[in-house]
Amino acid sequence: MRPAPPDTAAGAVAAEPPAGLLTWVAGADHKVTSLRTAGAALIFFVLSGAIALVMRSELAQPGLQVVSDGTYNELFTLHGSGMIYLVITPLALALGAYFVPLQVGAPEIAWARLALSGFWIYVLGGATMFAGFLTDQGSGRNGWAPTYPLSGDHWTPGIGMDMWVLGTSMAVIGMFLLGVCVLATALRERTPGMTLLRMPPFTWSMVATCLMVVTSFPVLIGAMGLLEWDRHVSPVFDAAGGPALFQHLFWFYGHPVVYVMFFPFVGAVAEIVATFSRRRFFGYSLFVVSMLLFAALSMSVWAHHMFTTGQVENRYYSLTSHALIVPAGIEYFDLIATMVGGAILFRTPMLFAIGFILQFLIGGLTGIVVASPPIDYHVHDSFFVVGHFHYTLFAGSMFGFFAAAYYWFPKETGVRLREGLGKAHFWLLVVGTNVTFFPMFFLGFDGMQRRIADYPSSSGFGDLNLLSTIGAFLIAVAVAIFLVNLWVSLRNRDPGGDDPWEGQTLEWATSSPPPRFNFRGLPAITSFAPLLDRREGAARRKGEVAA
């Protein structure tokens, strides 16, 4: 063992943090900040998920049975906004805030106070967004991706919409601050010996993620500021080309944020696949390059969301959108090649990782479909698109999140989640996810529009919608099993030890949960998988002694 970095060995910093309310409100430890963010995101997940169930109940059969058109507009707005601004993005960045400092051997996240303020600004933004429901004219009702002039004061008056705009801005500012801290940690807080090309795949995925955060999130903050200015001070977007400009500003954030929501889970899945295949991750250098290329390309495809406006250069955006296949293919190749020849253990984290790989593929392949302008003209604003992005963000990102949750829960808490409940959660979620979202491709291709509360009974959409609603309730049961698993596992603790999975990266070299400043000593860092190096070295020495 190498000695710990001087500050982690200091007596003052080895002290345990004071427990209690103050720690939960104002604790500057990155682990507390991360868990707070993840906890808040899970609360917003339950709220936004409950909204989805109401929407699916409304759509189960033709006619208006549950909510009015206006209320439905508010519901799909808060469902989408909640999941994107308040759930998946924060979960992805919270994962980075917890594990990037550990994986690079840092005692703390860079600019811990900034990360702490980021959490509070985010959570207050989320509360503001949802509080719009309590206003006279209701909450925001333009979807998670508002268009102008619909989002202007004339068509959507009322303070509820303002609260949505401001709440969104705050949530994005909060996550921007957290992203800046994670990126700075990876780039400048690494322990000696942890060179950039020894950072684990997950940390690299966070670097790529946070590069997109620092370059795209400020644009949305600016766009929302201008929208609010337009609503209350003087028109900004109502000149010729103004609505298109607003869409450009929005989608310059709106497309990269999709990658912000799944890159960290690609990185997490890479770690999980390597650990449970008992192999070193295959093609590390190429994976790193492909991540950075993927992130750069993702910044250049935003206007494919505007193919049908006739105001963008479709050829360029179609070209760059199709080019995304190259880095995505490299990553898939690396993930599969890591498994080939491995001694695969099908534990719950690995099941979710495989679920991520297979289902995200459906999201990716249907992405190629909508990247072609001629087909996009047919399926634009239809349920096909809804199916596509739910395969990306739910069947992909949330499966990646659950994989990460089962994998790293023992590190965060010192206890394992129940394997039986985990497998029930997985299989029910697989069935629920596919029953919910796969019919949407057929519905969309046959012409069912998105963002509608009703459809004619003569359309023939009823059966597939009913199926989709049944699937949504299966998902709810699966999520309930996960929450029960959290509760049961924390109540009746099954200690996981410091390294229950034989992990390969530095977080497994410290106690579970890690101490305040993370490490009391660090092993030699010889590659991106230092613990695997140590085990292989020990096995070699044992073999030599035996020989």
Partner 1 sequence: MIRPIVVLAGWGAMLTVLALVLLLFSPPQYEWALLAGAALGLAAFGVLLLVPASRPDDAPRPMPETSLPTVIVAWGLAIVVLGIAAGPWLLALGAEVVALGLFGLIREVRAQRKERQR
Interface with partner 1 includes 325 (CB under 8 A)?
Answer: no
User: Would you say 468 and 59 are in contact if contact means Cβ atoms under 8 Å apart?
Assistant: yes
Closer CB to partner 1, residue 27 or residue 396?
27
CB of 54 to partner 1, least distance (A): 26
State which amino acid sits at residue 284. Y
Q: Confirm if 404 and 95 have CB atoms less than 8 A apart.
A: yes
Which of 112, 182, 328, 478 touches partner 1 (CB under 8 A)? Answer: 112
CB of 378 to partner 1, least distance (A): 24
d(CA 38, CA 28): 15
Options 1, 2, 3, 25; binder of partner 1; rule CB under 8 A: 25
Q: Does 18 bind partner 1 (CB under 8 A)?
A: yes
Candidate ranges 47-55, 86-94, 120-128, 526-534; the one touching partner 1 (CB under 8 A): 120-128
To partner 1, the closest distance from the beta carbon of 524 in angstroms equals 17
CB of 96 to partner 1, least distance (A): 16
Q: Answer whether 246's CB lies under 8 Å from 237's CB.
A: yes
Member of 53, 57, 67, 120 binding partner 1 (CB under 8 A):
120
Looking at 96, 107, 152, 400, which residue binds partner 1 (CB under 8 A)? 107
Q: Which of 243, 338, 247, 240 is nearest to 287 (CA)?
A: 338
- How far is residue 137's CA from residue 154's CA, in Å, rounded to a whole number? 13
Q: Alpha-carbon distance 286 to 112, whole Å?
A: 32
10 Å CB burial of residue 321 (0-12, 13-18, 19+) is buried
State the nearest-atom distance from the C-beta of 409 to partner 1, in Å: 24
Residue 81 as a binder of partner 1 (CB under 8 A): the answer is no
Looking at 277-382, list the stretches that DSSP marks H as alpha helix, in order from N- to C-terminal side: 284-298, 314-323, 325-339, 348-370, 373-379
Binding mask 384-423 for partner 1 (x = CB under 8 A): ----------------------------------------
Q: Which of residues 126-155 bind partner 1 (CB under 8 A)?
A: 128
Nearer to partner 1, 118 or 355 (CB): 118
Which residues, numbered 251-290, are part of the site for partner 1 (CB under 8 A)? 252
Residues 291-320 that bind partner 1 (CB under 8 A): 292-293, 295-297, 299-300, 302-303, 312-313, 315-316, 320
| CB burial of residue 217 (10 Å; 0-12, 13-18, 19+) | buried
DSSP 447-465: TPBSS-S---GGGS-HHHH
Among candidate residues 397, 394, 353, 392, the one with its CA nearest the CA of residue 369: 392
Residue number with CB closer to partner 1 (57 or 135):
135
Binding-site size, partner 1 (CB under 8 A): 77
Nearer to partner 1, 225 or 235 (CB): 225
Using CA atoms, how far apart are residues 84 and 401, in angstroms rounded to an integer? 14
Residue 66 or 323 with smaller CB distance to partner 1 = 323
Question: Mask: binding to partner 1, 511-530, rule CB under 8 A, as x and -?
Answer: -----xx-------------
> Letter for the amino acid at 42?
L
**Among 526, 518, 547, which Cα is nearest to 106's?**
518
Q: Which two tokens stand for residue 422?
A: 């985990």
> Would you give the binding string for partner 1 spanning residues 164-193, x where CB under 8 A is met?
--x--xx---------x--xx--xxx--x-
Residue 483 CB, nearest distance to partner 1 (Å)? Answer: 28
Q: Considering the complex, what minimum distance in angstroms separates the CB of residue 486 from partner 1?
A: 26
- Cβ of residue 246: shortest distance to partner 1, in angstroms? 11
The verdict on 27 binding partner 1 (CB under 8 A) reads: yes
CB atoms within 10 A of CB 3: 10
Nearer to partner 1, 272 or 288 (CB): 288
486 binds partner 1, rule: CB under 8 A: no
Decide whether 6 or 420 has the Cβ nearer to partner 1: 6
Give the integer Cα–Cα distance in Å for 420 and 348.
Answer: 9
Backbone angles phi, psi at 65, to 5 degrees: -110, -35
Q: What's the closest the beta carbon of residue 66 comes to partner 1, in angstroms? A: 30
In this complex, which beta carbon is closest to partner 1, that of residue 224 or of residue 476?
224
Residues paired with residue 2 on neighbouring β-strands, in sequence order: 522
Q: How far is CA 514 from the centre of its chain?
A: 24
User: What are the structure tokens assigned to 417, written together?
Assistant: 């989640």
Among 97, 121, 440, 532, binds partner 1 (CB under 8 A): 121
369 lies in the site for partner 1, by CB under 8 A? no
Rg (CA), the chain: 23
